[in-house]
Structure 1
Amino acid sequence: MPWLGCSLLLLLVIGCTDGEQHDDAYPRRPIKLIVPFAAGGGSDTFGRVIQNAIETHRLLPERLVIINVPGAGGTIGSRRVKHARPDGYTLLLLHEGILTARHSGSAAYGAEAFVPIAGTGNATQVVAVRDDSTYSDLPSLMREASRNPDSIVFSANIGAPSHFAGLMLQAKQPGSKFRYTQTGGGAKRFAALQGGHADVSSFSIAEYVQFKLSGIRALALLGPERHPDLPDLGTAIEQGFDVESQNMQFWWAPLGTPPDRVETIADALAAAMQTDEVRQTLAEMKITDTVLRGAALEAELQRRERRIAEVAPSAAVELPDFAMIALGCLALTAVAAFIRAVRRRSSGVPRPAADRTERETSAHTGQLAAIGCTTVCYVITLQFQLVRFVPITAAYALLIGGILVWPLIQSRRINATKATVALLIVSVLMSVVMHYLFTEVLVVDLP
């Protein structure tokens, strides 16, 4: 097949030119910051405060563009960054939900799948109940949770820090157990309390201050010390429960990102956190203007990881690898078809001219099988990032086109050389245009 050699040549040529051009100047184009939650939430607001400071004070030569990728408790957005090219142009902003997701079974990976850039801010959690609740303090709540396990409904975002706040509390009271209900973000958890669908939940200080006048009451602060905005609220530690739950906003890069680029971003974040407008805004949001990087950041992540691992629920049930099962079924089908074809040829039974329809059907089936196998190889190559998007897509389009026009070439209805040149031009243009559409217009990271 003439296009087979062309496709291999195309793969080599474009592969050589499509690679990233290493340049000491960074960044040379806008940086995408993936916020794995909906716009308007706490993480999104925090990210935009830092983004505004970076642009206002020109802390980076290029823009920081926030892209909201909500869903699955932050794992959809984090997975995108995990598989992004490690060039410093795709970053992730995700609090310790990146740690709780793995321990709750929501994700198969955690902090080890990324390069930590910095930890910024610290939002302490508050345990709260309705104003008319019979629980006057944290000990009374935990005694009831111990006397009647599973009777107190804890509103949480399962697998997120709000869920683990409850798990940490019940771990400190022997025999206690909450009945967790999946609710969602702070506003939804407040609605669950207010509507009588839940008995207790955890909120950030900013959320609690916002909802307090609408009918909720705090039992304890889950921080190492009292907060100046809530001076009369005792900590869980003061009430006999050694529990801390503080949400820090962590910045991550794909594994393999050059250290100098990680440092460039860390420097910009540290500078942004020192600006007056950021400090003022974070004070209004009841967030401590903390900045951790380097060894201090690693130590804090390990400390939080240990604390979360101690109370993590049982591991999730391992699901079958459906992708490999499907691939195995396809391979078995191909082998069965090949054996059948060999047996027919070796039988030596003469085929009458009237059997032309059957031969055409067989040829069509073989064509579909070739297209299917080529498509599977293409998807696997993209999934494991074995080859860059442009060359593999161009080669795939060339092969598929060749498979489709081969019968016409065999019957001499079209010229082989002209068909190959036309397919080569179309496949290259299509791959380049698709790459531009996905990366520049739809802002989707490709291998």
Structure 2
Amino acid sequence: MIEVLVIDDEYPILETLRMYLSEKGYKVLVAKDGKEGWEILLRYMPKVVILDIRLPDINGIELLRKIRSRFLETRVIMITAFHEMQTVIEAMKAGAFDYIRKPLDVGELDRAFERAVNASTGLHDHGIGAKEEGEQEVLVGSSEAMLELQKTIGILCTNNATVLLQGETGTGKELVARLIHKNSSLKDGPFVVFDCAGVVENLLESELFGHEKGAFTGAIYTKKGAVERAEGGTLFMDEIGELPLQLQGKLLGFLQRKEFQRVGGQEVLRSNCRVMAATNKDLKEMVQKGQFREDLYFRLKVVQIQIPPLRERLEDIPELVAHFMWKINKELHLGISKLEKGVLDLLMAYSWPGNVRELENTLVEAMVKASGAMISKEIVKQLLGHQRSSQVKSKVHLSTLEMVERDHILDTLKKVNYNRKKAAQILGISLPTLRAKIAKYEIAMP
């Protein structure tokens, strides 16, 4: 009979799980605190432990680390009534098998428990238990989609596998990459961003791999590329789908051997950086069309993360709004602290094609325009109504993609008083790309 240990300071939880798991044929042991739980562990060595995060005598994650260091085959399922992103990440880093929120969902518990029992022998996975000091970025949201994403981040913090992040523009792909980096063993190394769409094509190889002095006209000094600068850290390649085919082959060679040469150089150099790539395109479809190398696609997607669009997690909007209002107040020295009744309903009824980035920018404009300390329903209606009408206008009156793009860029520039940096962020493109499009469409800048 498989033995299971439940450690929780809530008597109703202990009794409920004891009866439920006993009926399923398991021998259930219970403990009301960490000390009693550890004594039971030493005596019975159960295959699965259900462990509460908050115990009266010890932090659940500390006990988790202790269990994982002593009992490698024991699978630990963490449970908690509190949802904090960093706690999820820390638990998964420390070796938790799964993480479930209270009140416990029977179906979710069954699935996690069955997987834990099946995995309780023959696997020896070690968690990294280093605690991050001073959280800088936050992945906001407590929906099921975000909890799963946070679990995945926690797992990826324990290794340096190549990661492919996929999701629409504005979903937060770079933020996820930064969180993985900052919670990994490479956190003390650099995090280098390389925007594949933001560099002129004939300079891409030089920017990625570097060049030697005299390698080409204008190369007046030796320059390290992004790969070399990321040594000992993480290279985040944004918009990987924009990388030309010729350069895709060289990137593949680097991923396979961790070796590269600067443009115009003979010396073979090495970089042990971790590579994370992001795209809003369907790379599988690009492979089928011959636009992206299949071997590079498989090399990049060692671990693949699909980041959900905001319209698929609308229940996170209240948390996102609270977070962004705090952030905007701090950055712009504002004092907007309230929402008029009905504002959240309007925000949750909108489809957010620009995702979290569009929500943040909408709140910036609403807060700047607000009278007093409250965002009014009228302002939000105007902002969302204008966005809808702009979309409809584009579809009805413009006849070419270039005309649609020019109109959208111009409209965005006007909204931010022609601030190029803000406009590029809203549009989801790099500043150099925006400058090129302004010149291409001959948009007059004041």
Q: Is the pair's TM-score, using the shorter chain for normalization, greater than 0.5?
A: no
TM-score (norm 1): 0.20
TM-score (norm 2): 0.20
Q: Looking at secondary structure, tell me which structure has more helix per residue.
A: 1
Structure number with bigger Rg: 1
